[in-house]
Amino acid sequence: MFHKILVANRGEIAVRIIRACRQMGIKTVAVYSEADREALHTLLADEAICIGPAPSLESYLNMERILSATVAMKADAIHPGFGFLSENAKFAEMCQKCHIAFIGPDAQVIHKMGNKSEARKTMMEAGVPVIPGGKEPVHTVEEAMAAAEAIGYPVMIKASSGGGGKGMRISRSAEDFQMNFQNAQMESVKGFSDDTMYIEKYMEHPRHIEFQILADKYGNVVHLGERDCSIQRHHQKVLEESPSAALSEELRRKMGETAVRAARAVGYENAGTVEFLLDKDKNFYFMEMNTRIQVEHPVTEMVTGMDLIKEQIRIAAGERLSVRQEDIHVSGWAIECRINAENPEKHFMPCPGTITNVLLPGGNGVRVDTAIYNQYKVPPNYDSMLLKLIVHDKDREAAVAKMRSALGELIIEGIDTNLDFVYEIIGNEAFQKGDVDTDFIGKYFPAY
Ligand code: MV4
Nearest CA to ligand 1 atom 19: 438
List own/partner pairs for 82-88 with CB under 8 A and 24 or more apart: 82/9, 82/13, 82/292, 82/293, 82/294, 82/295, 83/9, 83/383, 84/8, 84/9, 84/56, 84/60, 85/8, 85/60, 85/61, 86/9, 86/291, 86/292, 86/293, 87/114, 87/290, 87/291, 87/292, 88/63
Q: What is the pLDDT of residue 69?
A: 98
C-alpha closest to that of 36 among 371, 418, 412 = 371
Measured distance CA(339)–CA(389) in Å, rounded: 8
Ligand 1, residues 131, 155, 277, 445: which to mutate, most atoms within 8 A of Cβ?
A: 277
Strands 411-413 and 357-359: antiparallel
Q: Please, is 370 exposed, middle or buried when counting C-beta atoms within 10 Å of its C-beta (0-12, 13-18, 19+)?
A: buried
Measured distance CA(83)–CA(290) in Å, rounded: 11
C-alpha of residue 165 to centroid of ligand 1, in Å: 7
**Which atom of ligand 1 is the closest one to the Cα of 200?**
15
Widest pairwise Cα distance in the chain: 62
Kindly list the strands in the beta sheet with 27-33, ordered across the sheet, starting from the edge strand earlier in the chain.
47-52, 27-33, 4-7, 77-79, 101-102
Ligand 1, residues 438, 439, 441, 448: which to mutate, most atoms within 8 A of Cβ?
A: 438
Measured distance CA(448)–CA(429) in Å, rounded: 18
Distance of CA 419 to the CA centre of its chain: 21
C-alpha of residue 276 to centroid of ligand 1, in Å: 10
8 A C-beta contact, residue 338 and residue 295: yes
Within the chain, how many helices (H) and strands (E) appear? 15, 22
Residue 208 CB less than 6 A away from ligand 1: yes
Angle at 164 between CA 162 and CA 166, to 5 degrees: 50
Residue 202 CB less than 6 A away from ligand 1: yes
Q: What is the pLDDT of residue 252?
A: 98
Measured distance CA(190)–CA(64) in Å, rounded: 25
Task: List pLDDT tens digits, range 39-60.
Answer: 999 999 999 999 999 999 999 9
Residue 165 CB less than 6 A away from ligand 1: yes
Q: What is the pLDDT of residue 339?
A: 98
Measured distance CA(421)–CA(343) in Å, rounded: 10
Residue 133 CB less than 6 A away from ligand 1: no
Measured distance CA(58)–CA(64) in Å, rounded: 10
pTM equals 0.97
Low-confidence ranges of the chain (pLDDT < 50): none
**Which atom of ligand 1 is the closest one to the Cα of 133?**
15
Catalytic residues: 292
Residue 200 CB less than 6 A away from ligand 1: yes
Angle at 157 between CA 152 and CA 158, to 5 degrees: 140
| Sign of CA pseudo-dihedral 290, 291, 294, 297 | positive
Residue 134 CB less than 6 A away from ligand 1: no
Q: What is the pLDDT of residue 163?
A: 79
Measured distance CA(141)–CA(170) in Å, rounded: 14
Residue 167 CB less than 6 A away from ligand 1: no
**C-alpha Rg value of the chain to the nearest Å:** 21
